[in-house]
Amino acid sequence: MNQEYDSELPCFIDSNIWLYVFMQWQDSAKSAIAKSIIQHNNVVISTQVINEVCANLLKKTSLPEMELQELISTFYKKYFTQKFLRAKTFA
């Protein structure tokens, strides 16, 4: 793949990739791959992904609440975050 082409496209990263980054003891090989993926220049995440990552970290780790709050702030500061859009319902 052309390196220039790759670095210019937005790269949506789903919650499972982020969980491999943060829970590296579960699978070190997948964690290393996940860490390389998040180095992409144009990372995009969604508010849903942030919610899923936080919910799973609360369930599966002993991450203190303050660190979780810092993580959420970092997501919003460092990455483009796609917020939920309201869907139109038709009756």
pTM, two decimals, is 0.80
Q: Tens of pLDDT along 8-18?
A: 789 999 999 99
**Domain layout of the chain by residue ranges:** 13-82
**Which contacts qualify for 73-80: CB closer than 8 Å, 24 or more apart?**
75/45, 75/50, 76/50, 78/43, 79/43, 79/44, 79/45, 80/10, 80/42, 80/43, 80/44, 80/45
Q: What is the pLDDT of residues 73-82, one digit of tens each?
A: 999 999 999 8
